Structure 1
């Protein structure tokens, strides 16, 4: 199975250790989503824009761990999206983004240039 990550799970980010057992397949840009900052981590919601991501092949155990990390409390929900590497799970933010900073570049690694 594959997962597409856009924020703290990306390489050299705070939660990238969760992807240690995953196989990096490549970078991808998804259309139809907007990226928002929630301080130390981001969230994507359906909307106008593009979001820069990384696609990984992971096992069921890793997906279970990521689900526990991301879907606990209903903050995120998994959604299947298409990538050049096949379909992949994307964690979509489920709460309001009102008053939150949108990352216009769509790239969490470039968030500081948003200011």
Structure 2
């Protein structure tokens, strides 16, 4: 199975250790979503934009761990998307994003390079 990661699970990010047993298949850009900063981590929601991400092959055990990390309390819900590497799961944020910072670039790694006032 495959998973799409766009924030702290990406390479060299704070939660990348969860991906230790995963195989990076490549980078990808998903359309029809917007990336928001939720503080120390991001969330994607459907919208008019793009999000830069990485696609990994993972085993059932890793998916179970990520589900425990991401879906408890209903904060995220998995959605299956098509990628150049095959279908992959994306964790979509389920709570309101009003008042949250939109990351226009769609790239969590560039979140600190937002123009002033945005």
The TM tier, using the shorter chain, reads: over 0.9
Return structure 1 stretches of 4+ with deviation > 4 angstroms. Answer: none
Q: Determine whether 1:15 maps to 2:22.
A: no
Paired residues in the alignment total 115
Match of 2:44 in 1: 44
Task: Summarize the alignment of residues 36-115 of structure 1 with structure 2, pairs less than 5 Å apart.
Answer: 36-115=36-115
Name stretches of at least 5 consecutive residues in structure 1 with no aligned partner.
none
Q: C-alpha displacement at 1:114, in angstroms?
A: 1.0
1:3 aligns with 2:3: yes
Taking only aligned residues, the RMSD between alpha carbons, in angstroms, comes to 0.5
1:28 is matched with 28
Q: What is the TM-score normalised by the length of structure 1?
A: 0.99
- How does the TM-score come out when normalised to structure 2? 0.97
